[in-house]
Amino acid sequence: MFRIWGKEFHNNHLLKDLVICNDDPGLNRTRKVFQALEEICVAFDLSVPIWLDSTIEDFKRHSKCRFTADSFIEQIDFDFLELQVIEED
């Protein structure tokens, strides 16, 4: 089971959160992360953010990353969107 937790924060307060589960053995880790991010963005009514180099490095290093306003094309009304892998196969 692969589970990823998406959280939306504003002023260090959790506004929304959602856990996405994926147990498809045909997908690699990267595809599972991208699919989960898309599902979280649809649920939170957001555009899918851009993966900046610093975001990629944080995710590789800690299995956790933050998407700030720089990662979104449109204006956002929160401080950051955080992704965290909470369970991996």
The mean per-residue pLDDT over the stretch 40-59 comes to: 96
Assign 51 a pLDDT band (cuts: 50, 70, 90). very high
**C-alpha to C-alpha distance for 56 and 21, rounded to whole angstroms:** 21
For residue 12, is it left (φ>0), alpha (ψ between -120 and 50) or beta?
A: left
Domains, the chain, with CATH or none: 2-87 (3.10.20)
Is the pTM here over 0.85, yes or no?
yes
Contact 84, 3 (CB under 8 A): no
